[in-house]
Copies of this chain bind each other. A is one copy, B any other.
Amino acid sequence: MIEDMVNKNITIKDVAKLAQVSTGTVDRVIHNRGKVSDKNLKKVQAAIKELSYSPSQIASALSYRKNPITIGITYPAVDIDFWNEIPLGIKAARKQLEPFGVNIIEIPTTSYGFAEQNQALKKLLEMDVNAIIFCAVNDFSSSAITPPSDVPFATIVNKTRTKGIAFHIGPNDFQIGQLSAKLASLYTCEKGNALILSPNASFTGTQERVAGFISKINQEKLGIEVLKTENIEGESNSEIKKNIYEMAIKNISNYPELNCIYVTNGFFSSAADAIIDANKVGKIKLIGHEYTKNMKDYLATGALSATIYQHQARQTYLAIMQMFNHLQNKQQLENSSIQCSIIMKETLSIVKIGESDLL
C-alpha cells in the first residue's frame, strides 16, 4: 500500500524479475525479436500487463541514437506562398526531433509531375529512409505513384485514392467548400450571383471544394446563384494567373449582376486585381483560399473578403511527428483532418501563420 505511493518507475528490470527471466528476454518479447520459448513469452506478457509496464521513451531514444531514424519527405518546391510553407513545417519538426537523433531528408521537386515525384521517391528509398511523407497534388489512383510496401508512406495536403497509404493528414476539402459557400452567402446578404474560378481544376482538392460549394447552395437556402464555373489551366503559374485575371474580367463584364467570385485555391489575387481594375471593389465579394503574403492589402480594401487557410506547415509538422511516434514508440497511425482557419480582415492577427502555427 505504502509502496504504491512511492511512484517508482517500472523498468524492464522489474518486469524481468517478476517474470523470472533476464532483461534480454523481456527485450526480445517487447520487440518481437523471437527466440523466446512459449512459456517465457507468456510469463513476460503477463508481467508486463500486471505491472502495466511501458518502456521509457527517452531511455529508448537515447539508446537508439546508435542507428538513428530517418524520415524522408518530398514536396513540390513551386515558388508560391502555398508550397513555401511546407519547409517551415519540416524545419520545426527537425528542430524538435533533432535531440532524438532523427534525420529528416527533404527532396523538393520542381514541378507537380509524376515523373519527377517518382524520381524523388526512388532517391529517398535508395537512401534507406525509415518512412516517407509525400505531398500529394494530383490524385494518383491511376497508380502513377506506387507507395513502397516496406516503408510507411503517408500523404499530406491532398487525399488520394491510392492503396497502401499509411495515413493522410489534410483538410476536408468538401467541407471547406461548403464553408466557402456560407461565407459567400454572408458577404452577399443572401443575394449572391456568383462566379466560380477553379484553377488547377484537375487537382483532387479543387474538385472537392467546388463540389462542396455547389452542394451547400443546393442543400440550403443560401440565396446564391452560380452564374458560371470556369476551370482554368495553364503551363506556368504566371500563365494561370493571367488566365484567371482575364476570365474574371470577361465574366464581370458579361454579368453585370455578378457580386461574388469564388476562387478555389490560393490564386485569388488575380481575381482581386480584376475586381479592382473593373472598379468593383465592395460590389463584388471575393472568397478564396489559403494565406499569401500580399493578401493584407486586398483584405484591407475589401477587394478580398475571406479565405480559408489549411495550415500547410502544421500538416507537415504533424505528419512528421506522427511518423516519428510510430517508428520510435510504435504508436498507431491514423488519418486526421487538419483544422482550417477563416482568414478575414478581422482574424488576420488572430490566426497563426506558417511557423508560428505549429502548436
Contacts and interface: CB of A to CB of B under 8 A. Distances in A.
Interface of A: 7, 9, 56-59, 61-62, 65, 99-101, 103, 172, 175-176, 178-179, 182, 186-187, 189-190, 216, 314, 318, 321, 337, 339-342, 344-347, 349-352, 357, 359
Contacts of A342: 342, 347
A321 B58 contact: no
A189 B191 CA distance: 10
A311 to B, nearest CB: 10
A40 B128 CA distance: 43
A62 B59 contact: yes
Contact of A189 (B176, B189, B321, B352): B189
Contacts of A347: 179, 342
Nearest to A321: B359
A101 B350 contact: no
A346 to B, nearest CB: 4
A9 B101 contact: yes
Nearest to A322: B359
A7 B187 CA distance: 55
A168 to B, nearest CB: 16
12 contacts: A7-B103, A9-B65, A56-B99, A57-B100, A176-B350, A179-B347, A182-B344, A189-B190, A216-B346, A321-B359, A339-B351, A342-B342
A-B pairs with lowest CB-CB distance, top 3: A57-B99, A189-B189, A186-B186
Contact of A350 (B100, B318, B339, B345): B339
Given A175-B349, A179-B350, 20 more contacts: A9-B101, A57-B99, A58-B99, A58-B100, A172-B349, A172-B350, A175-B350, A178-B346, A179-B346, A179-B347, A182-B345, A186-B186, A189-B190, A216-B346, A337-B350, A339-B341, A339-B351, A339-B352, A339-B357, A342-B342
A221 to B, nearest CB: 11
Nearest to A175: B350
Contacts of A57: 99-100
Contacts of A101: 9
Nearest to A306: B186
Contacts of A99: 56-58
Contacts of A339: 341, 350-352, 357
Contacts of A344: 182
Nearest to A349: B175
